[in-house]
Amino acid sequence: MRRLLYLLPFLLAAYLFTGVAPVRPGEQAVVRRFGRVVAKAGPGLWVGLPWGIDRIDRVAIDRVRRVTVGYQPDVEEAATPGQLLTGDQNLVNVQAVVDYAVDPDAAERYVLYRDQADGLVARAADALLAEWVAGRPVDEVLLTGKAVLPGWLVPRLRERLAPYGLGIDVQAASVAWLLPPDEVKPAFDEVTRAQASIRTREQEALQAAERRLREAEAEQYRLTQLAAAYAHEQRRLAAADADGFTRRLEQYRRLRRTNPDVLTAIWWDETGKLLLRVRDNGRIDLLDNRLGPDGLDLTQFAPQKK
């Protein structure tokens, strides 16, 4: 009896120590007192009331939990899980993987429903998979399902689970299996190869079109530069001609005061230049029968035939 009295303080200390719990990084402690949530604690040392009064549940909030739903290749049953009917009455086998984590702001809800969380996520995801597949033809399901279905599934799964208050956040989804049944798989493989060939041809056509567009743009740039250079040259020549004409006009006006016949001299000077160019490019025929008492009446310039 005396020995039991000696052990009593140690037993009491051990019992009180059950109210102390370490909370590791990445965890959150949910403290329930007589079944009611009274506190949540982050990483560190939690000190509360001993066992029987307080219950401490530590939840890993940084851990991603995974639920696989749909088709199971190794399961042989009369009704194959995940074998769904498309909108055009074809069967496909679909398996999806849903990743979720505990919502730090609702960890106490997860503590209450953690045993049901995976099952509810799986059932909601199964229903949504059937809904998506039933609303599309088999070609669209098989060709676009792996890329399109995850983005469609995640927001709707969050909406579907929200009323349950599970304290979880659906983070991502992926399609792990999306194939027709084995009996018709060869035919669908042939369709897939044909679709891949079509996409390859489309890419080649797009690349050829882009290449030709770049060549056309380069040619357009070259012609624009040539036109700009030609226009600049013509403006320069025109300016030079205008400047020369202005100087000759000023010279004519100056010489006209002292020489009344200066205009005649200029005329014959220009006519001589013209006749020299005509001689180089053709011939000059003089029509003698058109000569009159006042001189030449008609000069015909005829191009030389080559």
Residue 215: band (very low, low, confident or very high) from pLDDT cuts 50, 70, 90 = very high
φ, ψ of residue 91 in degrees (nearest 5): -95, 140
**Which tokens sit at 149?**
């279905």
Residue 10: band (very low, low, confident or very high) from pLDDT cuts 50, 70, 90 = low
Q: Residue 266 and residue 283: Cα distance in Å, rounded?
A: 23
Count the neighbouring beta carbons within 10 Å of the beta carbon of residue 54.
18
Whole-number pLDDT of residue 201: 93
**Which residues, at least 6 apart from 86, have a Cβ–Cβ distance to it below 8 Å?**
92, 133, 134, 136, 137, 138, 141
- DSSP type of residue 305: P
- What is the mean predicted confidence (pLDDT) over 253-263? 74
**Which tokens sit at 124?**
């909601």
**Which tokens sit at 247?**
């100087």
Mean pLDDT of the chain, nearest integer: 80
Higher pLDDT, 150 or 54: 150
Whole-number pLDDT of residue 75: 65
Q: Residue 220 and residue 210: Cα distance in Å, rounded?
A: 15
Whole-number pLDDT of residue 130: 93
**Which tokens sit at 162?**
């929200």
Whole-number pLDDT of residue 252: 77
Partners of 286 in the beta sheet? 299
Task: State the residue for tokens 């999306």.
Answer: 178
Whole-number pLDDT of residue 115: 87
Whole-number pLDDT of residue 155: 95
Residue 37: band (very low, low, confident or very high) from pLDDT cuts 50, 70, 90 = confident
